Every structure is written in structure tokens, then in C-alpha cells.
């Protein structure tokens, strides 16, 4: 099954002022351990990606196609092959260049024959630190928190 993630930069003043950079990472859980999955293909963002962008990015980050079209942006589409029966962890790093803040967001999903089943998802209004949420995510996945933190750090994601 094909799965897409998006990494992008957006600067906009309308409908709301934004200056953000978003990076996406995908980990597959194998034998109780997370492994970073590299995209099979990375390409420029196209009109065919609009619906998936809004369904994948908007609920987590609060940014939609409308925001992109009203600003200056660059989006990369990352394409993956995901395996039915497998569990994945999506990690999103959002850096707000206006407020100089960084937010790490997590989503756990299971790939089923019928599609994607989300087991846990943050949103852009989350209040707990990323370290506290890693503890919670490790519990959901039945894995060691330190092992999860180490794999996230290897991908270049800084938890706070």
C-alpha cells in the first residue's frame, strides 16, 4: 500500500501570518523496536496531492492547501510502501520561525487491508512536552521509552 508524507516550508500573511518549516518522519515498529523508514521516492508537490495533504497535514498541524495557496511555499512529497499488518509511528517536527518555537507531534497507525487505522494522534494544540508524550507512546506500543527516544534522536529530532 502506498502512503504519503509531506515536508514543507510556508510563509504567509493571509489568512493568518505563518512562517513555519515542517519535517515528516516515518518509523516502522519491528519486534518491538522502531526503525526509520526512508521514502521510496521524494518529489515535488503536485495537484494530485492536495486531498491527501489536507487529510494528513491539516488535522495535525492546522495548515491546509488554502494556507499554501495564500503564501510562499515549497512542499516535498515523500512516498512510502507500507505493509498491511504493520504498525507505524509518524513524527512531525514543526518549527515556527516567528515565535522561534518547535513542536514535535506523534501519530501511531496500523496498516490494515481496508486502509489506515489511527491508534493515537497528537494535534498542534498539545500541551505536554514531547518527552512526556514519548513515555505515553512507548506505553501504547509496549516498548522501552529509552529505545524510542534513541531512534527518534538518530533521525535528528530533538525532544524537549
**pLDDT profile of the chain (160 residues), mean per 10:** 96 88 96 92 97 93 91 97 96 92 93 93 83 92 91 90
pLDDT at res. 27 = 97
pLDDT at res. 44 = 97
pLDDT at res. 16 = 79
Distance from C-alpha of 30 to C-alpha of 77, rounded to nearest angstrom: 25
Residue 106 buriedness (CB in 10 A; 0-12 / 13-18 / 19+): buried
pLDDT at res. 53 = 97
pLDDT at res. 14 = 78
Amino acid at each position: 500500500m502506498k502512503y504519503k508524507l509531506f515536508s514543507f516550508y510556508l510563509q504567509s500573511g493571509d489568512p493568518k501570518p505563518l512562517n513555519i518549516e515542517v519535517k515528516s518522519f516515518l518509523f516502522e515498529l519491528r519486534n518491538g523496536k522502531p526503525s526509520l523508514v526512508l521514502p521510496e521516492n521524494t518529489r515535488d508537490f503536485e495537484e494530485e496531492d492536495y486531498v491527501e495533504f489536507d487529510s494528513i497535514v491539516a488535522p495535525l498541524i492546522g495548515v491546509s492547501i488554502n494556507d499554501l495557496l495564500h503564501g510562499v511555499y515549497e512542499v516535498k512529497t515523500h512516498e512510502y510502501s507500507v505493509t498491511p499488518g504493520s504498525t507505524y509511528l509518524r513524527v512531525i517536527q514543526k518549527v515556527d520561525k516567528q515565535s522561534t518555537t518547535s513542536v514535535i507531534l506523534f501519530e501511531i497507525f496500523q496498516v490494515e487491508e481496508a486502509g489506515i487505522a489511527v491508534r493515537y494522534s497528537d494535534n498542534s494544540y498539545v500541551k505536554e512536552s514531547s518527552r512526556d508524550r514519548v513515555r505515553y507512546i512507548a506505553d501504547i506500543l509496549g516498548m522501552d521509552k529509552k529505545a524510542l527516544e534513541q531512534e527518534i534522536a538518530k533521525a535528528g529530532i530533538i525532544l524537549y
